[in-house]
Chains A and B, each alone.
Chain A
Amino acid sequence: MGKLTLQDKIIQICIYIILIILAIITLYPFWNTFIISINNAGDTANGGVTIWPRVFTLANYKVVLQNPDLLQSFFITILRTVVGTFLSILFTSAFAFGLSRKGVYGKKVYTTLCLITMYFSGGIIPYYLLIVKMHMNNTFWVMVIPGIVSVYNMIVFRSFFMSLPESMIESAKIDGANHITIFFRLILPLSGSIIATLALFTAVGHWNDWFYPSLFITSKHLYPLQSLLNQILATNAATDLMNVLSPGAQQKLKELQEVSNRSMAATTIMVVTFPIIMVYPFVQKYFVKGVLIGSLKE
C-alpha cells in the first residue's frame, strides 16, 4: 500500500468513526439489557436507565433463576440442542458419505430429491397438519426429528468427503471393511473440523428455535427457552398496549411495574443469551469458515 493522500486520510478517519458507531449500535441493546437486568426493578420502572445501573441489585436474577418454568425450559433447550445436534450430524454426514461414493445406485434421484427441497416447500400449513396427523405435536421429538436432515449441511459434508483421497478408502475396502465401518472408523475421525463447524451452526439453530415449538407445544414442561421468552414478552407487550389504549390506567400500570415485567424480561433475555455470548468469541472463526465452505461449493 502506498502513501495516503489528504483525501485518503479524511476518508480513513470517517470510516473509523462510522465503524465505531456501528459497533456501538450493535452492542448497545445487549449492554442496555444487561444493565436493566442488574438494576433495581422499581427504579427501572421510573425510566431512564441506559448505560450504567442506578441501583445495583442481583435480585432480578434471584427471582428469574428461581422460576421453575425457566429452569425446566433451560433443561429442555439443552437436551434438544444436544440430542438434535448429535442426531443431525450423524444422519446428515452418513447421508452425505453415501452420496459421495461413485456409482451408487439411485444417486441421481436422491440428489435431485434433496436439491428440490432447497427451493420448494409445502409451507407451514400442510406441515402443521402433517405433524398433528402424526401425533407429534406436543412431544419432545417434534423439536428434533423434522430437523435431523439438513440438505445444506449434507452438500457441505459431501464436498468435503469427495475431497478426501480415494485411495485411502479403496485400501480399507481391500482390507475387507464395508462402507459402514469405513464411515465410522475412517471418515468421521478425519472430519473433526467440518463436524465442529456444522455442529455449531446446528446447535445455534436449536438454541434459537422458537416458532415451531410455540406452534406445536402446549405443555409447559416441554417448552424451550426461546418460546418461553416469546410468551413472557408477548404478555408484557399486551399490557403495554393496554397502557396506550387507556391512558387513564397509566398510574395503575406504574404501580404494577414495581414488580416490573420489564426487568424480568431483561433478566430472562440475559439468561437465555448468556450461553451464546460466552461461547461466541471462541467459536467465531468456525462460523466464518462454515460460511465460506458453503459458498465456495456453488
Chain B
Amino acid sequence: MKTEIIVPNNIKKRGFNYSLNRLMKEWDIQILIIPSLILIIIFSYLPMWGILSSFQDFDVSKGFFNSPWVGAKYFNMFFHSGDFALVMKNTLILSLLKLTFGFPAPIILALMLNEIRSMWFKRTVQTITYLPHFISWVIVGAFITSMLSVDSGTINIVLMKLHLVSEPVNWLSKPDLLWPILILANIWKEIGFSAIIYLAAIAGVDQQLYEAASIDGATRLQQTIAITLPTIVPVIIILLILSVSNILNAGFEDIYQLTNNLNNSILMSKADTIDIYSFRQGLRGFMYSYGMAVSLFKSVINAVILLVANWLARRLSGNSLF
C-alpha cells in the first residue's frame, strides 16, 4: 500500500497548503518525528545560531537581540593576543601526540589478541581491557592522582624500591609531564574498547589464507604482516581519517581532571588548548564573545579539515562520511 496523496487541483504543489495537507495526512508518522526534531532544533541548532554572538559585544542582560554588533573584533583580539601561538601549539602538538601513540595502540592489541589460541584467556583480557571505557574521567583522574601521589602513590613506591629515584617525584606538578600522562591515560582508558572494531575486521579474514600460507612455510609473524594487516587496512584508513579530522579537539575532560578542574596554574602553560582556553576565558572569565570567537575559529577549521578528509576518504577507499 503506497502513501498516494491526492492533491486537489486548486492547491499549488509545494505551497503551504500542500505541506499542511501532507503533514495532516501522515499525522501518525509526523507525531513520532516532530517532538524529537524540536528537541534537536532547541538544543543543537539554537546554540549554533547563538555562536553568532562572537561577532557581538555580548551582554547577558541585553541578550542576543540587543547586544551591539562589533564585527571581527574578538577574532582579531584572539589572533593578536600573546596566547594565540601558545594555544595553537598546545592543541596541535598534544593532538598529534595523542594520535601518534593512541591510534596504533588498539591495532597492536587486536593483532596480539588474534594470536591467542586459548579462548578463555582471550576473552578474559578483552573483558578486563574494555572496563575503563565505562568509567568517567572523574574516576580516571582520581586513579592517576592516587597512583602518582607523592607520599603514597604506587608508582613512587615501586620506583623507590627499585632505587630508580632517590626521592618521591611529584609527577603532577611538572608541566612537561602533563602530555605524556594524558596520552598514557587515554590509552589506558580506550585501548581495549577501540580494539573491538579491529577484532571484528580481523574475524572476517578467510581462514584458508592462513592455512595456505602456513603450508608454504610462513611464520605467524609473516602471516600477520602479509594477511591480517592488509585486510584491516580499509578500516584503519577510515578511522585514521576520522581521527585526523578531529585534530583540533585535543581533549577536554581529561585535561580538566588532570589540572584539578583547571585550577592548577602551574600546568596551564601546557594545558591551554583551544577548548580549554575558550572555556576558561569565555565561561570562567565571563568574556562570552571572546570565548565564542575562539570556539567558532576552531569549528571553522574543523569543518574545512573534515571536508578535505571526506574528499580524501572517497578518493582513497571509496568510502566517505557524506
Instruction: List chain A positions with a Cβ less than 8 A from chain B.
Output: 1-5, 7-8, 11-12, 15-16, 18-19, 22-23, 25-30, 32-33, 36, 44-50, 91-92, 94-95, 97-99, 101-106, 110, 113-115, 117, 119-130, 132-133, 145-146, 148-149, 151, 154, 170, 173-174, 178-180, 183, 204, 208-211, 215, 226, 229-230, 233-234, 237-238, 240-241, 244, 262, 265-266, 269, 272-273, 276-277, 280-281, 284, 287-288, 291-292, 295, 298
User: CB-defined interface of B273-289 with A at 8 Å, one 1/0 digit per residue?
Assistant: 00000110011000010
Q: Decide if B128 touches A23 in the complex (CB within 8 Å).
A: yes
Contacting pair B36 A91 (CB below 8 A)? yes
Q: Considering the chains assembled together, what is the distance between the CA atoms of A101 and B37 in angstroms?
A: 16
- Counting CB contacts under 8 A, is B33 at the interface? yes
Q: Are A292 and B200 in contact (CB under 8 A)?
A: yes
Give the docked Cα–Cα distance between A46 and B152 (Å).
8
Inter-chain contact B128/A98, CB cutoff 8 Å: no
Residues on A with beta carbons closer than 8 Å to the beta carbon of B119: none
Query: Whose C-beta in chain A lies nearest to the C-beta of B218?
Result: A2
On whether the beta carbons of B196 and A44 are closer than 8 Å, the reply is no
Q: In the complex the two chains form, is B152's CB within 8 Å of A262's CB? A: yes
With the chains together, A266 CA to B145 CA distance in Å?
11
8 Å CB contact of A29 from B128, B146, B257: B146
A48 to B150, CA, bound (A): 11
Contacts of B49 in A (CB 8 A): 122, 126
Chain B residue nearest in CB terms to A250:
B151
- Alpha-carbon distance A241/B306, docked complex (angstroms): 41
Most buried by B among A94, A126, A130: A126
Residues of the B chain whose Cβ atoms lie less than 8 Å from the Cβ of A91: 35-36, 39
In order of increasing CB-CB distance, the 5 nearest A-B pairs are A122-B47, A2-B214, A126-B50, A47-B152, A95-B36
- Contact at A179–B29, with CB atoms within 8 Å? yes
B206 contacts chain A at the CB level, 8 A cutoff: no
Q: B115 near A233 (CB under 8 angstroms)? A: no
> Do residues B33 and A98 form an inter-chain contact, with CB atoms below 8 A?
yes
Contacts of A99 in B (CB 8 A): 33
Nearest CB of chain A from residue B165's CB, rounded to whole Å = 15
In the complex, what's the smallest C-beta–C-beta distance from A158 to chain B, in angstroms?
11
For B131, the chain A residues whose CB sits under 8 A away are 26-27, 30, 277, 280
Residues of A within 8 A of B22 (CB): 105
Contact B112 A105 (CB under 8 A): no
Chain B residues near A280: list those with CB within 8 A.
131, 134
> Do the beta carbons of B32 and A122 come within 8 Å of each other?
no
Contact, CB under 8 Å: B253 / A125 = no
Given A98-B30, A226-B138, A33-B146 contact (CB < 8 Å): yes
A15 near B32 (CB under 8 angstroms)?
A: no
Please give the number of chain B residues whose Cβ is less than 8 angstroms from any Cβ of chain A in the complex. 105
Q: Given A124-B295, A298-B319, output 7 extra A-B contacts at Cβ < 8 Å.
A: A1-B211, A15-B115, A23-B124, A117-B45, A234-B263, A273-B135, A273-B139
Task: Say how far B148's CB is from chain A's closest CB, in angstroms.
Answer: 11
Q: Is B127's CB under 8 angstroms from A284's CB?
A: yes
Interface status of B317 (Cβ within 8 A of chain A): no
Residues of chain A contacted by B28 (CB below 8 angstroms): 178-180
Question: Shortest beta-carbon distance, A264 to chain B, in Å?
Answer: 12
Cβ contacts A to B, 11 pairs, < 8 Å: A48-B152, A49-B152, A95-B36, A102-B3, A113-B40, A129-B50, A148-B39, A149-B40, A229-B142, A284-B127, A292-B197
**A110 vs B306: C-alpha distance when bound (angstroms):** 22
B-side contacts of A295, CB under 8 Å: 197, 200
Interchain CB contact under 8 A, B260 and A234: yes
Chain B residue nearest in CB terms to A122: B47
Is B152 in contact with A26, judged by CB distance below 8 angstroms?
no
- Tell whether, in the assembled complex, residue B146 and residue A125 are in contact, meaning their CB atoms are under 8 Å apart: no
| Contact with B32, one of A5, A95, A128, A298 (Cβ below 8 angstroms) | A95
B26 to chain A: closest residue by CB: A105
In the docked arrangement, what's the CA distance between A126 and B49, Å?
8
Considering only residues 137-171 of chain B, those with a C-beta below 8 Å from chain A are 137-139, 141-143, 145-147, 149-152, 154, 157, 170
Do A121 and B44 have beta carbons less than 8 Å apart? yes
**B31 contacts chain A at the CB level, 8 A cutoff:** yes
Given contacts A104-B26, A170-B1, A1 and B142 within 8 Å (CB-CB): no
Judge whether B47 and A47 touch: CB under 8 Å: no
Decide: A8 and B220 in contact? CB cutoff 8 A. Answer: yes
Question: How far does the alpha carbon of A49 sit from the alpha carbon of B1 in the complex, in Å?
Answer: 71
Could you tell me if B306 and A119 are in contact, using CB atoms closer than 8 angstroms?
Answer: yes
Q: How far is the CA of A115 from the CA of B3 in the complex (A)?
A: 26
Least CB separation from B118: chain A residue: A16
A48 to chain B, nearest CB (A): 6
With A15-B115, A208-B135 already in contact, the answer to whether A121 and B47 are too (CB < 8 A) is yes
B138 close to A126 (CB less than 8 A): no
Given A2-B214, A29-B146, A291–B125 Cβ distance below 8 Å?
Answer: no
Shortest distance from the beta carbon of B2 to any chain A beta carbon, whole Å:
7
- By beta carbon, the residue of chain A nearest B47 is A122
Of B112, B256, B283, most A-chain CB atoms within 10 Å:
B112
Q: Is the CB of A241 within 8 A of B260?
A: yes
Whether B6 is near chain A, meaning CB under 8 Å from some CB there, is no
Cβ-defined contact, B282 with A125, below 8 A = yes
Interface string of B202-237 (1 = CB under 8 A from A): 000000001100110001110000000000000000
- Select from chain A the residue with minimum beta-carbon distance to B151: A47
In the assembled complex, the Cα of A237 lies from the Cα of B256 at a distance in Å of 13
B116 and A19 form a contact (CB under 8 A): yes
Tell yes or no: B85 within 8 A of A by CB: no
The verdict on A123 contacting B138 (CB below 8 Å), with A117-B40, A178-B28, A211-B253 known, is no
Quick check: B200 and A126 within 8 Å, CB to CB? no
